[in-house]
Amino acid sequence: LAKLMSDSEPSIRVKTQSCNSLVEFLRGLLNDDLTPEESVKLISNYTSDLVKLLSQLFEFSLTKSYYPLQEASLSAISLLSNLLEKNFAPYYDQLMPGLKKLFFGLNAQSAEQKKLKSNTIETMSFLCSSIAEDRDKYIKDLNEIANAFLNYMKTIPEEDPQLTSIINGFTHLSLAMKDKFEPILQQLL
């Protein structure tokens, strides 16, 4: 599966379908009868290679402006971070800069762009949750993200599906920031 997602595979559609297979596998791990510890143990041997591969795949999808692969690779990153929770923290510094670049740079006008931005918000949120135990090291970044979500939320209509992602994102940010989330909460209220 990894070989089919790598640079050695010339077909972008094969890369996308392979990544979608990974997405379904990760969803299965999240929804399986396994305990969270068993799921983490099952995937942990592959995590480092998967993160590297998915990062490259996501960058490739952005340069090619190929939405199906953007969606699949971002979903895989999001599911992997959700599955591994705090065990995903070592990959925060590798992934968050690109996600922030996409969040701040994407002017979501079409339904496709809104969905991509929504998935970016969700992935950023899961990454924020992963660093909760080391929040003091990342508090500046967490504040920047929380304020960016807050400001962006003010610019979109209530019926926009991105709003749900932002609200869910605040849940993850509040868990990561703990008492440092209070100024954001005051603004939300």
Query: How confident is residue 31, by pLDDT bands cut at 50, 70 and 90?
Result: confident
Q: Residue 169 pLDDT more than 90?
A: yes
pLDDT at 75 over 90: yes
Confidence band for 189, pLDDT divided at 50, 70 and 90:
confident
Query: What would the 3-class secondary structure string for the chain be?
Result: CHHHHCCCCCCHHHHHHHHHHHHHHHHHHHHCCCCHHHHHHHHHCCHHHHHHHHHHHHHHHHHHCCHHHHHHHHHHHHHHHHHHHHHHHHHHHHHHHHHHHHHHHCCCCCHHHHHHHHHHHHHHHHHHHHCHHHHHHHHHHHHHHHHHHHHHHCCCCCCCCHHHHHHHHHHHHHHHHHHHHHHHHHHHC
pLDDT tens track for 90-110: 999 999 998 998 999 988 888
Average the pLDDT over 73-101 and give the result.
Answer: 92
Q: Is the pTM of this model over 0.85?
A: yes
pLDDT in tens, 146-155: 999 999 999 9
> What was the pLDDT predicted at 176?
93
